[in-house]
Structure formats: C-alpha cells, structure tokens
Amino acid sequence: MSYKGNFKVWRGDDTSGGLEDFVVEVNEGEVVLDIIHRLQATQAPDLAVRWNCKAGKCGSCSAEINGMPRLLCMTRMSVFTEQETITVTPLRTFPVVRDLVTDVSYNYQKAREVPSFTPPENLGLGEYRMKQRDVERSQEFRKCIECFLCQNTCHVIRDHEENKESFSGPRFLMRIAELEMHPLDTEDRTRDAQDEHGLGYCNITKCCTEVCPEHIKITDNALIPMKERVADRKYDPIVWLGNQLFRR
C-alpha cells in the first residue's frame, strides 16, 4: 500500500536556508530515511544527509522530525498519519554544514577532554575479577551509539550557545560517571566533573534520557549518582577537612 506523503525538508547551509515542500511516495514498512533517499533519487539529488548503517547502530542519521530529535532510520512512517505533513530539520544545537548535515565536532572535542581509564599501575594480568554488577553498570553506558541526540536536546546548550565551553553535555558526563564508578579507576573524577565539565549546569530535566534511542537511563544511572558523589565529597566533614588542609 502506497500513498503520496507531504514533507517539509530544511535546505541550506551555514549562511542561509529554509523549509522546502516535497510530495514523496511512501510505501508500507518504510522509515523516514527511506523517504529522504527517495527524495534524493527523484527530486533533490544534491540533498545532503549523513547516514551509514540504516539499523540504528552507527548514530549518524540524527535529525529532528516534527521538532523531535530522532534517528531518521529508526522512525517508522507508520507513526504518522497519511494526511500529516512531516517536517525534517537538522539538529538545532550544532552548526549546519549543509541541509540535514551538522558539524558535531563539539562532541569530539568534549570526548578528548575526558581523561582515559586509569587502572592501578602495578596491577598484573588476571589479578582482578570484576563483579557482575560492575560489569552490568558499564555495559548500560557502553550501549551508547554516539548519535548525540542527548547532547542536541539538553537545554543547557540547546538554548545557550555560550555554555558550550563549560558544559560537556550528558553523553560525556555519563562517560565520566562510568569511569568514576569503575572499581579499578584510580582518578578522582568528581571535582573534574563539577569544575571542568559543568555537572552543576544539569538540573535533571531528563530530556536527554527521553530521546536516547538506546534507552540508557542517563539521568538516573549516571548524572544523579555523579551529583551525589560530588555532594558527598563536599559535605563529608572528613573530606572537607582534608580539602582545607591540603588545598592547592
């Protein structure tokens, strides 16, 4: 069963752009990325879109559909009515390169700023066995496909460009939490999370969690435990005394 669907697709570059109207054939079982590909094949051969796997695993095809951050390849056309006009726009938080492609290099910069896993220096091979609950905690965070939908959604940078310098966003605060809770990591990441990565900007709106296609509980399992650790450190009288005595 096919029908003609109405679409508005943002076209332009970093200087100007706007929504263009298209009528495109829609077939049963298709996803929005199929429509974008048909649009390229039939009416707009120069339409720029980033994608790779078409299976929800590479994180490349992030965009906004009717204003909601989503993966183009995992959004079924069947969730819309045949009469509905579907609007496809690039991620709003990152600079447009062209059409639906944005420059997400902010995220790679923030990734580079997180110090890597630091196990004890003298630990030999096979000397430590991870507990199952520690393995499971890491595994949840490692489902991340780096689609950056959470980064795009968080109001701290979506509505405030000026915060990008001091806020690393939910994806990278989650990475810091993963390392902080790793039983073998020797770095103290609480101070870094607060002072260098802007954990304090997060006011737990949970919008990041809502848009995560991997259903990672970013707020409950990473950001809130991290905030609790920061608070423990700040208000623990022994830690507080130590900080006063050994303040740099």
Contact set with ligand FES (CB under 6 A): 51-54, 56-61, 71, 73
Instruction: Answer whether 99's CB lies under 8 Å from 11's CB.
Output: yes
Residue 60 interface partner, choices ligand FES, ligand F3S, ligand SF4, none, CB cut-off 5-8 Å depending on type: ligand FES
**Residue positions counted in the chain:** 248
Binding part of the chain for ligand SF4, among 45-53, 93-101, 192-200, 209-217 by CB under 6 A, reads 209-217
Identify the sign of the CA torsion 171, 176, 161, 104.
negative
- In the complex with ligand F3S, the residue whose CB is nearer, 39 or 222, is 222
Shortest approach of ligand FES to residue 41 CB, angstroms?
17
- Calpha distance 23→25 (Å, rounded): 7
- According to DSSP, the β-strands at 85-89 and 2-12 are parallel
If binding is defined by CB under 6 A, does position 170 make contact with ligand F3S?
Answer: yes
- Taking the complex as a whole, the smallest distance from the CB of residue 146 to ligand SF4 amounts, in Å, to 5
Residues 85-144 interacting with ligand F3S (rule: CB under 6 A): none
Q: Could you say which residues in the range 200-239 bind ligand F3S, by CB under 6 A?
A: 202-208, 219, 223
Q: Which is nearer to ligand F3S, 154 or 181 (CB)?
A: 154
Q: Which is nearer to ligand FES, 57 or 206 (CB)?
A: 57
Minimum distance from CB of 232 to ligand FES (Å)?
37
Residue 75's closest CA among 219, 170, 211?
Answer: 211
DSSP assignment, residue 136? Answer: H
Inter-residue contact 12 to 90 (CB < 8 Å): no
End-to-end CA distance of the chain: 70
Dist CA 155 CA 208 (whole Å):
9
CB atoms within 10 A of CB 178: 23
Note the residues at the interface with ligand SF4 (CB under 6 A).
144-150, 171, 211-214, 216, 218
Note the residues at the interface with ligand F3S (CB under 6 A).
153-154, 156, 170, 202-208, 219, 223
